Amino acid sequence: MMQRSPLNRKNRLKSGGGTTSKKFDQACKNALSGLTAKAPKPRKPSRCKVCRGEYFKRSITHKACGTDCAIELARRQREEAARRAQRADRVLDRAKREAMKSYGELIAEAQTAFNAFIRERDIGAGHGCIDCGKPFEPNRPGGSVDAGHYISRGAAPHLRFNENNCFAQRKNCNRPGGTTREAFRAGVEKRIGLAALEDLEADQSSPKWTHDDLRTIRRLYQLKLKDLRAARAEGQAV
């Protein structure tokens, strides 16, 4: 009967371990032989911020090609910093002035924005005066169009920003004695319908606008006016 000899470390190496080691050594040699030293990339020149000439940077803060350009660049940077500071001051001043506005000032500004929207809305839609029906004269010196409230702001201040209560109106008609209540009501009924008119006349709400509410109303009608004018300009372009 044949006996197996014990497989010790030497026998393992003889039985194939040496071949594996040689293969590994050869693979390492092949890998190392494939590595070649790469030539460094040539440096790219930068453009001077002042004269636009080419130069090679010495550091990331090196932005000018020479002393003269560096002095000029520093001067420009100081001027730009001063302009930024002035802009920041103006923004801060506007914010301060806005915060200091009284309730009366804000309601007047909101009313101005609302009235401008009303005039643009009716003129853009091709409507004439809400009272007499005559066309407006946009080229007349001083203008010929008011935003007239059917129910006056004094009688119903809560309706001052109601779009069904205000319409483009010839200045002559908006003056005392320029029109009659009946003529105005007839024009409003024709424009918005009897049901909407009766709802308007029955409106007894009493909104309490805050300072921020008035700022929101002002901005809202500024944007609505801008949209109307843009739409009209686009229509004329077509």
pTM for this predicted structure: 0.66
Rounded-to-integer distance, Cα 99 and Cα 211, Å: 9
Rounded-to-integer distance, Cα 56 and Cα 72, Å: 18
Roughly how many angstroms between the first and final C-alpha of the chain, as a whole number? 109
Q: Which of 87, 103, 107 is nearest to 95 (CA)?
A: 87
For 122-135, what is each residue's pLDDT tens digit?
999 999 999 999 99
Q: What are the sequence ranges of the domains in the chain?
A: 54-100, 103-234
For 159-183, what is each residue's pLDDT tens digit?
999 999 999 999 989 888 878 889 9
